[in-house]
Amino acid sequence: MRKLFRFFGKLIASILVLVFIISALTSIFLLALNSQLFSPDFYLDVFDEVDFFDQLPEIAATQIKYAMGYNPAWKIPQCARR
């Protein structure tokens, strides 16, 4: 009986150690990701790489045109018809 308790004790301990290691690695990864995602410099660099600010007027005009021609009753929006 004592061997059975010792076996289950070691089994539970090893499972808890495994869960702790997985949790620790996940926490480290998420903290690094969190500091990256909430940094404004990261987004400014990405927007500069894809020339987002140069394309912004065209994107805004397209969205306004779509919104003005959109009617939920139509299956195909009026602005998409040619």
pLDDT value of position 20 = 97
pLDDT value of position 25 = 95
Residue 62's nearest CA partner among 81, 43, 50, 80 is: 80
The answer to whether the CB of 73 falls within 8 A of the CB of 79 is no
Distance in Å from the first CA to the final CA of the chain? 81
36 Cβ neighbours under 8 A, 6+ residues apart:
42
How many Cα atoms occupy the beta-carbon half-sphere of 56 within 13 Å?
6
Extract the residue ranges of the chain whose pLDDT is less than 70.
Answer: 70-82
pLDDT value of position 40 = 87
Stated pTM of the model: 0.47
Would you kindly state where each structural domain of the chain is located, as residue ranges? 1-38, 51-82
